Structure 1
Amino acid sequence: MFVQLLAAMGVLAVLTMVPGPDMAVVTKRAIASGWQDGLRTIGGITAGLLIWGVLTVVGLAAVLAASATAYTVVKLAGAVYLGLLGVQALLQSRRSRSANAGVSAPSPSGNPWRTGLISNVFNPKIAVFYTGLLPTLAPSGFSPHMGMVLLVLIHAALTLAWLGSYVLVLAKARAFFEKPSVRRTMDRITGVVLIGFGIKVAASQP
């Protein structure tokens, strides 16, 4: 059982570190308004994972993953939200240019915790991941429900640790990222990446 748990943690760690919408959202928020907002965004993302975990344990996530209509509604909502965040980042890069000309650039709007929560909750791939992959990773020494609960908690903890470390690395390089030219470039990159992830989510299949 212990070996199975270690193997499951390894798989979850690899999947956690693969760049995706969560990392793009965190990058945008941390660079735009500081590491504190970056950490708050991670808190929202982690809460979203726990919500998906609860839905998975009670069986609702499986219904979503199996229903083409429900999956389409959630994925389109998530795609639109990611697209809006991407457009916001691109507009922020233009405002940064205006700020260099003497016009003060406004701070990013919206609650960072809510931003992280919404971006994660409206990612239907999490439902597919939790209902399709997690059951195969659950250690045999636990009941099916307890095994799933344990893996969801591990995944949430790994996400919190990985993205938290990432934000702290960004904070160490704060002086570099606060340079106007770098800030504009990062806003443009994260904007394009977020829009790209939005398109990817919209085109995804259960």
Structure 2
Amino acid sequence: MTAASILAFAGLCAVLALTPGPDTFLILRYSLVRMRAGIAASIGSAIGSLIWAAAVAFGLAALLEQSAEAYRIIKIVGGLYLVYLGVSAFLASRRGAGRLELEPPRVRLHSSLIAGAVSTLLNPKVGLFFLAVAPQFIPQDGAAIGNTMLLGAVDALVALVYLAVVSVLASRAVVWLRRPRVTKTLERVSAGILAALGVGTIATSIE
């Protein structure tokens, strides 16, 4: 695989990463609470992308393309998970409404990392993206598994950088504003968006 092909694929991944999706709002939600939690969720999302790349490389993700029922099930489960995250985040923001401004909320980093990974793993569009796009960048005489994993690593790196930047900017904005009411509003809005995305995903899956 040439450097030009890798750069072209990275550019495509960057364009897709800039399109707001569940991962973006998930990282935003965690970053508004704690920057480290947002970055941990970003790493989890990148790990999820790598796992999808491995699934494509070994042919497992092809089942999604061949089975509409499997695709629908994963999509519904992913939607339910987003609803769960959104509702949990909203309830957490209500419970913490009275805490002091300078008292940082406690968020377990491994929990946010797992949330980022699970959110990506339960998004079948990631797997279908690799199924549709990766073969166009892999030379016919090249090692399919190795090249697919390489492209997966590129996609994971691009997503990690973008989501980490979102995390840092969001957390810095909260520190700069230093207004608990504004912070709570942003937390609840991001939680509501997560839940709405989950409901929308479920609705489109059962039509």
Provide TM-score, normalisation by structure 2: 0.85
- For 2:81, the equivalent position in structure 1 comes to 81
Match of 2:165 in 1: 165
Counterpart in the other structure of 2:24: 23
Which residue identity does 2:155 align to in structure 1? H
| SS of 2:20 mapped into structure 1 | coil
Normalising to structure 1: TM-score of the pair? 0.85
Give 1:41 shift.
1.1
Rounded to whole Å, the distance in 2 between the matches of 1:194 and 1:30 is 14
Matches within 5 A, 1:49-198: 49-99=49-99, 107=106, 111-138=111-138, 142-176=142-176, 178-198=178-198
- 1:63-106 per-residue CA deviation (whole Å, 9 max, x = no partner) reads 12321221122111110010011112222333343447xxx997
SS in 2 for 1:60: coil
Residues 13, 159 of structure 2: 8 Å contact kept: no
Which amino acid letter does the alignment assign opposite residue 44 of structure 2? G
| CA–CA distance in structure 1, aligned partners of residues 195 and 184 of structure 2 | 16
Q: Distance in 2 between matches of 1:157 and 1:178?
A: 31
Secondary structure, counterpart of 1:133 in structure 2: helix
Show structure 2 runs of 5+ residues with no match: none
Residue 25 of structure 1 aligns to a residue in which SS?
helix
- Select between 19-28 and 138-147 the one with higher mean Cα deviation: 138-147
Gaps of 5+ in 1: none
Residue 27 of structure 2 aligns to which amino acid in structure 1?
V
Structure 2: how far apart are the matches of 1:168 and 1:162?
10
The alpha-carbon deviation at position 141 of structure 1 amounts to: 7.1
* Structure-2 change in CA distance of 1:48 and 1:63 (3 Å): same
Aligned-pair RMSD on alpha carbons? 2.6
**Aligned-pair identity (%):** 29
> Which range moves more in the overlay, 77-86 or 164-173?
164-173
Match for 1:182: what amino acid? V
Partners in 1 of 2:104 and 2:15 — Cα distance? 38
CA distance in 2, matches of 1:139, 1:18: 28
Q: Distance in 1 between matches of 2:195 and 2:21?
A: 12
**Across the two proteins, how many residue pairs are aligned to each other?**
202
Q: Which one-letter code corresponds to 2:153 in the other structure?
A: L
